Amino acid sequence: MIKAGIVGGTGYTGVELLRLLARHPEVELTAITSRGEAGTAVAEMFSSLRGSVDLKFSDPKDAPLKECDVVFFATPNGIAMQQAASLLDAGVKVIDLAADFRIKDVALWEQWYGMTHASPALVAEAVYGLPEVNREQIKAARLVANPGCYPTATQLGFLPLVEAGCIDLDHLIADAKSGVSGAGRKAEIGILFSEASDNFKAYGVPGHRHLPEIRQGLARAAGKETSQIGLTFVPHLTPMIRGIHATLYARITREDDFQALFERRYASEPFVDVLPPKSHPDTRSVRAANTCRIAIHRPQGGDTLVVLSVIDNLVKGAAGQAVQNMNIMFGLDECSGLSQVPVLP
């Protein structure tokens, strides 16, 4: 059994990790940390886990994290970079669900995240955990940078076109919408029920932290520098709890059978579902599942492709993808613990 620990288990990604790992046939939950909730039973805070998780939250300084085989960081940005090195030195594999190791250009990361990076040497070692791109590198990794939710939906939607070299990389557009859980489990005016319900708005239009991550991934797929990717990324907040819907626009530069292109690219990917022509995937079709559903359109037969990409931001966009990466790192069946059917309604 793989002994797993979670640092920062009181947020939505933390409880989602607990939900998935509690039913994973190859995992033993060993530690879950929270300074503020140390000594509190996990099931007391999250009643959905009664009968499934019998651990108590422990203070990070007392938790047996170095006795684990893998530790997940479900923490705010800036935490994992301070603690990962000591765990790696102890032989523990680390999966960071925050952004500390995602962007390879440390100066660029510091610009977007507004802090000095505590472990720049580890940034070079970290493997970006998008299995559909980096599966072989993930197999040998000690440290995995789990992708962000918007970057997962956006990259999976654009990748086949970018890799094939059949679209204009100077004028890509990602118009993406997220449920309120993407903002985290905290008290904040903008995500209060009376503020977010019956409302819809864009945010981060001048610049969002996920922009450089997406551009980096697309640049690698294209074999270009990040500066050569012209991407306009506009996120929106929608009055729902879970889900991301990314509507992606790309100008065609070379004709191809685009439906077949996507079907070939993802034919062997267990968590990417390319829908039949004329389909319109919705977020509830992936709710609570580690699945990305994609559909391709060419409106009026013009020169613009529209790709629709949907995921559950807490699963394929966070905790589920982290478990998928863990499975790969330990040589398990990639789908182990991730066979949940989406929840309806």
Report the catalytic residues. 149
CA distances from 18 to 24, 58, 74, 323 (A): 10, 15, 11, 10
Q: Which of 180, 128, 179, 136 is nearest to 155 (CA)?
A: 128
Cβ burial, residue 207 (10 Å; 0-12/13-18/19+): exposed
Q: Which of 125, 304, 108 is nearest to 219 (CA)?
A: 108
Task: Kindly report the backbone phi and psi dihedral angles of residue 29, in degrees, each rounded to the nearest multiple of 5, phi listed first.
Answer: -70, 125
Half-sphere exposure of 233 (CA within 13 A, CB side): 21
Cβ burial, residue 120 (10 Å; 0-12/13-18/19+): middle
Burial call 26-61: b when 16+ CB within 10 Å, e when fewer: ebebbbbbbeebeeeebbeebeebeeebebbbbebe
CA distances from 256 to 97, 172, 252, 279, 280 (A): 36, 18, 9, 19, 21
Q: Which of 142, 144, 5, 2 is nearest to 62 (CA)?
A: 5
Residues recorded for the chain: 345
